[in-house]
């Protein structure tokens, strides 16, 4: 079945005018994959909710991340308004997406990025699409401040970071797809939706989408939103900026999220919560996802699953699945409470934001943690954990190969 792209599919829900130029790479319609074996591999079989865990794999978008959802709208509006250049700060995925959509539109893309802090796969994408890269001796938050100032001073340059509300308009469509895909599988709307949180635009946008369809009468029950950050870059968990964020999950290595307020609102209104996971937990979850489902996601993506498994191991997941009760650190708002009457019994959806081929450094360098490091008990029953980086080369000898193979059984 032909998929025309997000703007054509959901145009009535997007701020696109009839005469706007649409720039699309047929993004969206990404898989929603059951992850029924994941709980068993993690040593958490029987924990309520994990038997109906789904992974929304945004790595299947054209440039391999969820950023394409927002970029199709932002670049379409930029071109329609006469912009000849788009600019962004990036930890990698935004640069790849902005560069691709700029190339498709025939305009220039400029990327300001922290030097040495962007995965090589993402840099390669931006380069091959023809973007102009400007590395700085600083972090993402400093890069974002610079591009915001530049865009404000030059009206012909369009800023396409998620501080641009048009980005969030496109990204909210992930909520529409989750609802439609679950319904097509005979499932109820999601009870819990977990997302990695870096600059916080994604969780903000997803909540926008769920709220919009609830208000339109297309969604009976709103999910609880769970935002997962890396321990070394967890300003929303700790309630204060992080000046020098550090994590192996480069896509969420952000200490001052631009959409922090929207993320707090999503968690508060939905009765959800924030939590932090360690790099070991992230990398262990990345391996579990791959072995349980055949999906290779980048480390930052795995934070959503690491967070859900951590909550499950600590006995804190089940309260989030109950209808009509606040979950975790969230508080109710009057608007959200009316939509919280029916989520109990719905599945859990973890958003995997990017493709694993974008950031292979941790895997190839042998930094993968053993699964037992996820939460209190996660992974204790997961045998044969891959790790240690690329395997040592063996002689081209049948007996040596047989010995290596059979010796592991």
Query: CA–CA separation, 258 vs 108, rounded Å?
Result: 24
| Counted domains in the chain | 2
- Do 183 and 143 share a structural domain? no
Q: Is residue 403 part of a domain?
A: no
- Do 186 and 107 share a structural domain? no
What separation, in Å, do the N-terminal and C-terminal C-alpha atoms of the chain show?
43
Please list the alpha-helical segments (H only) found in 192-298. 201-215, 235-238, 260-270, 279-293
- Do 362 and 332 share a structural domain? yes
Average pLDDT over residues 231-251: 95
DSSP for 10-41, please give it: SGGGS---TTPPP---------EEE-TTHHHH
In tens, the pLDDT along 163-181 reads: 999 999 999 999 999 999 9
- Do 303 and 229 share a structural domain? yes
Is 60 exceeded by the pLDDT of residue 259?
yes
Q: What is the largest CA-CA distance in the chain?
A: 70
- Do 155 and 254 share a structural domain? no
pLDDT category at 361 given cuts 50, 70, 90 is confident
pLDDT at 329: 38
Q: Is residue 353 part of a domain?
A: yes
Q: Is residue 388 part of a domain?
A: no
Which CATH number fits the domain that encloses residue 347? 3.40.50.1100
- Do 174 and 143 share a structural domain? no
Average pLDDT over residues 181-196: 97
Phi/psi for 159 (5° steps) reads -80, 130
Stated pTM of the model = 0.86
pLDDT at 267: 98
Domain of residue 272 covers: 6-64+168-373
Task: Give the residue from 84, 85, 142, 86 showing the smallest Cα distance to 113.
Answer: 142
Q: Is residue 402 part of a domain?
A: no
In tens, the pLDDT along 321-350 reads: 986 544 333 333 333 333 444 445 799 999
- Do 84 and 17 share a structural domain? no
- Do 274 and 126 share a structural domain? no
């Amino acid at each position: 079945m032909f998929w025309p792209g997000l703007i054509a599919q959901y145009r009535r829900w997007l701020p696109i005018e009839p005469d706007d130029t649409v720039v699309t790479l047929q993004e969206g319609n990404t898989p929603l994959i059951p992850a029924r074996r994941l709980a068993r591999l993690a040593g958490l079989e029987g924990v309520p909710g994990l038997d109906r865990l789904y992974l929304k794999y945004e790595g299947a978008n054209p440039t391999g991340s969820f950023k394409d959802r927002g970029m199709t709208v932002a670049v379409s509006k930029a071109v329609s308004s006469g912009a000849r250049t788009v600019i962004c700060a990036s930890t990698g995925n935004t640069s790849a997406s902005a560069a691709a959509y700029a190339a498709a539109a025939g305009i220039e893309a400029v990327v300001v990025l922290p030097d040495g802090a962007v995965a090589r796969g993402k840099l390669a994408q931006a380069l091959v699409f023809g973007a102009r890269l400007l590395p700085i001796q600083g972090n993402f938050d400093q890069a974002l401040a610079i591009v915001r100032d530049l865009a404000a001073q030059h009206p012909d340059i369009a800023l396409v970071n998620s501080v641009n509300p048009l980005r969030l308009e496109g990204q909210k469509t992930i909520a529409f797809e989750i609802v439609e895909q679950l319904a097509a599988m005979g499932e109820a709307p999601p009870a819990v939706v977990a997302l990695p949180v870096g600059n916080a635009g994604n969780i903000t946008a997803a909540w926008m989408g769920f709220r919009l369809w609830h208000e339109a009468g297309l969604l009976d029950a709103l999910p609880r939103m769970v935002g997962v950050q890396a321990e070394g870059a967890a300003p929303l968990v700790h309630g204060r900026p992080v000046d020098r964020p550090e994590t192996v999950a480069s896509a969420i290595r952000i200490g001052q999220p631009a959409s922090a307020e929207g993320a707090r609102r999503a968690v508060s209104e939905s009765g959800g919560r924030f939590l932090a996971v360690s790099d070991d937990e992230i990398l262990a979850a990345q391996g579990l996802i791959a072995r349980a489902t055949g999906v290779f996601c980048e480390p930052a993506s795995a934070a959503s699953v690491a967070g859900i498994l951590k909550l499950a191991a600590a006995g804190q997941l089940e309260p989030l699945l109950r209808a009509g009760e606040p979950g975790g650190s969230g508080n109710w708002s009057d608007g959200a409470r009316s939509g919280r009457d029916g989520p109990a019994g719905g599945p859990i959806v973890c958003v995997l934001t990017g493709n694993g081929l974008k950031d292979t450094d941790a895997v190839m360098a042998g930094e993968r943690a053993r699964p037992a490091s996820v939460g209190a008990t996660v992974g204790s029953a997961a045998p044969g954990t891959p790790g240690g980086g690329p395997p040592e080369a063996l002689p081209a000898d049948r007996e040596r190969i047989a010995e290596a193979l059979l010796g592991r059984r």
